[in-house]
Structure 1
């Protein structure tokens, strides 16, 4: 890049913000779906809120095991963009969307008979389990749409477009909120109404992505028919990310299971605290999304120096944003629990948990940004291995603190140890050169 160091820094900042700011709005839509559901369902009772927590965690596990549909597609499409082949970029995205549809259909068929077993595996109490089963059984029908949204989002991010996903996310969140109010509070459908509202909103969002990608395919003369070779490439390219995501979900599943076994108040407080954590995580991940798109494009264009420079800037942005978000949570902490529940025990547990959540945000800023950068570089193998290592650190810590009766704070401290292990391994990788592989295909 030509110009003085100051100009280079300014250009990188503009590029990061151009992608990260719209990505922020799109990313926070998913936790806002569940936060709005939590606010509405929480007024039905503690058992219903706990049921939403268990079902939401199970549903998120099923969907985000397939997050490679978004992340892998972003990295692959961005590399093709950097290499100057837009037709190949769109085709890779189309194959990813077909793969999303196939996986979604398979998950419905496999998941419906296992709903009761899944809820039981999370340790839901007899009072919570019926609500969790109801929400999960309905929500399974929205999984194909959710996966198409992931793949479609990856296509557009790889094409350096984060504005369209923002517009779709705003529309989807607004529709979800409206339908939840009508179905739950007006029509009195209970927790099932909340699930149906989310399914309908996700389906509408998926339809928009299909229309946008079809238009891009026509513009670049790309076939939209499923290509077996392309489907295999999309599936195999995401294997490392699948392992990485599975390891992440193990941590989240164990966290929910441990909280559920502590009691109904604990799982209800953990549900809300985890959704706040998710909201902050997706906010920080907006910089990581910029990292995926920018890193893939720079490496596709064989610009190693530019990749290094923008990596340093994005890590800096992650730290600053983490500090700001942590202070923000501390500022609203006294009033936040009242938005979700009137149960005194739940509110007390949530007040204490939010302190740990706030303190962890600067660490989370570094972790999410470096994770996104290495995803953009296609370094899935390293991410898979080191995420497994961090998970091995978390599991005994969580169990020991549970047996020591450290309560919900102990569980959040174990999550903090997990994040510290991830920051160490990701930081060591970023300092080296092995992830800096250039060209249209890694």
Structure 2
């Protein structure tokens, strides 16, 4: 399948890590990563005008949607790690074939998850909102939005193999092909159908983008289209650790939403606004981590350990400066930014103190996410899994327990989230400078 005549994609003159090379990968990836959170921020702003109840219902529904899809992050990050190694070794068709198998996984698991969400939507919504009226609205949103779950996973798989072959521009264009029509339709559909219109617009946008990724795969792939159990099994071995890592995040975020819902409707609505901002900002910072992952995997694929370390150091410096700039913007413009999403005074009051914790997390994330990218590119998923689990147990859960039992409200919840970030940051810095991640083991052909 790989072909004997394929050559490594790098020449000697391209072996050094340059700012231009990093940004050439990072900027289109930034567009892809920022697009969906930007859409969610628009969604939050549109629904926020309907009232705190609808905003709280969207918070519950979006939490579920995020939970069931982000468990499969290995479809993008794991696929990139494997594809980039093959691409760095000059096996481009083998790298693309990883995308075929990842797409089969996306389709099968996506349909299963959509069915589960449809069946159990009401008990899940009632658990998250602790209010029957809000839960009823959330159920309607969740059952329509469930159709977007397999579409989202197909998109994740497409991003994975395209990043692996160092093509981050095409995913950006395909993302725009779905996001722009969905964003244009959003206010009209919400105006006509209320909260459910938000879910319909989401399905439309994801459907268009997923179709584009499937077409791109058909054009690029020249081998078998049959599911390959051996390759899928190897992807799932890497995916197992990434799934557990993602599950740790979701335990934290679902617990945070549940506790916020028990504080008050205003606290849950405020948490939704801040969480969507955090998700947006982390994915913006993750654009540089995508470049780090792709370049690290490619460098290790041909044995260039010193270049892999140089990638990590350069991307971390860039990411830190970028994060500090974002933190400054949110510190100065906080009052204006918060009022973009709600004019409810109770919701604004609930955000006042946790906002400064958000700013501190942005600054720390500049280093954290860059190093996450290096370790993911090296396939160091087992370490990242263990570190994330530890950060939840040592950092987040004590904070959330204090928030629940001591009544510290949204501030206590976000103290727990900040502690989780600090634990991960310390672990990533230690791991990177230990160089234990620089294994030269290749994925099996």
TM-score by length of 2: 0.94
Q: Which residue of 1 aligns with 2:436?
A: 434
Q: Deviations over 1:237-280 (max 9, x none)?
A: 21111111111111111111111111000000110111011110
Contact 1:51–1:131 at 8 Å: present in 2 too?
yes
Shift of 1:402: 3.1
Matches within 5 A, 1:264-283: 264-283=265-284
2-side partners of 1:328 and 1:163: how far apart? 28
User: Which of 148, 152, 157 lines up with 1:151 in the alignment?
Assistant: 157
Instruction: Measure the CA separation in 2 of the matches of 1:262 and 1:402.
Output: 8
Please give the per-residue CA displacement for 1:139-185, whole angstroms capped at 9, x wherever unaligned: 11111100000000111111101111111222322112112112112
Tell me how far apart the structure 2 counterparts of residues 66 and 349 of structure 1 sit (CA, whole Å): 32
Q: Could you tell me how far 1:439 is from its partner in structure 2?
A: 4.6
Matching residue of 1:284: 285
Distance 1:8 1:70 in 2: 25
Q: Which residues in structure 2 correspond to 1:114-133 (within 5 Å)?
A: 114-133=120-139
Partner of 1:295, secondary structure, is helix
Report the CA distance shift for 1:429/1:323 in structure 2 as closer, same or farther (over 3 A): same
Residue 86 (structure 1) aligns with: 92
Query: 1:316, 1:243 → 2: CA distance?
Result: 29
Are 1:382 and 2:386 counterparts?
Answer: no
Structural mapping, 1:14-413, within 5 Å:
14-185=20-191, 188-217=192-221, 221-393=222-394, 394-413=396-415
Q: For residues 112 and 12 of structure 2, what CA distance do their matches in structure 1 show?
A: 50
Worse overlay, 352-361 or 59-68? 352-361
> Are the aligned partners of 1:80 and 1:300 in contact in 2 as well (CA < 8 Å)?
yes
> 3-state DSSP class of the match of 2:335?
coil
C-alpha displacement at 1:424, in angstroms? 0.9
Q: Matched residues in 2 for 1:246 and 1:62: separation?
A: 9
Give the conservation status (yes or no) of the 8 Å contact 1:301–1:439: no
- Give, in angstroms, the shift of residue 27 of structure 1: 0.1
Secondary structure of 1:378's partner? coil
The CA distance in 1 between the partners of 2:441 and 2:223, in whole Å, is 22
Residue deviations 1:415-434 (CA, integer Å, cap 9, x gap): 11110000111111111132
* 150-159 or 391-400, which deviates more: 391-400
Cα deviation, residue 284, structure 1: 0.6
1:282: how far off?
0.5
Are the aligned partners of 1:32 and 1:173 in contact in 2 as well (CA < 8 Å)? Answer: no
The superposition leaves residues 397-438 of structure 1 with CA deviations (integer Å, 9 ceiling, x where unpaired) of 221133222221221121111100001111111111321111
Q: Return the alpha-carbon distance in structure 1 between the equivalents of residues 217 and 351 of structure 2.
A: 42
Shift of 1:231: 2.2
C-alpha contact (below 8 Å) 1:31/1:279 kept by paired residues = yes
Question: Residues 174-227 of structure 1, C-alpha deviation per residue, up to 9 Å, x if partnerless?
Answer: 112112112112xx201111101101110110000000111111xxx2222222
List per-residue Cα deviations over 1:343-373 (Å, max 9, x = no partner). Answer: 1111222343322211221211111111121
Secondary structure of the residue that 1:212 maps to in structure 2? helix
Question: What secondary structure sits across from 1:146 in the alignment?
Answer: helix
> Which aligned segments of 4 or more residues in structure 1 are displaced greater than 4 angstroms?
none
Could you list the runs of 5+ residues in structure 2 that have no partner in the other structure? 1-10
Mean Cα deviation higher: 94-103 or 328-337: 328-337
Deviation at 1:2, TM superposition (A): 7.0
Q: 1:228 Cα shift? A: 2.3
SS of the aligned residue for 1:127 comes to helix
1:58-80 per-residue CA deviation (whole Å, 9 max, x = no partner) reads 11000000111000001100000
Indicate conservation of the 8 Å contact 2:144/2:199, yes or no: yes
Which moved further from structure 2: 95-104 or 176-185? 176-185
Aligned residues: 433
Q: What is the CA-CA distance between 1:441 and the residue it aligns to?
A: 1.7
1:422 and 2:424 correspond:
yes
Query: Could you tell me how far apart the structure 2 residues matched to 1:426 and 1:124 are?
Result: 37
Cα distance per residue 1:313-336 (max 9 Å; x no partner): 111112111101101112321212
Q: Normalized against structure 1, the TM-score is what? A: 0.94
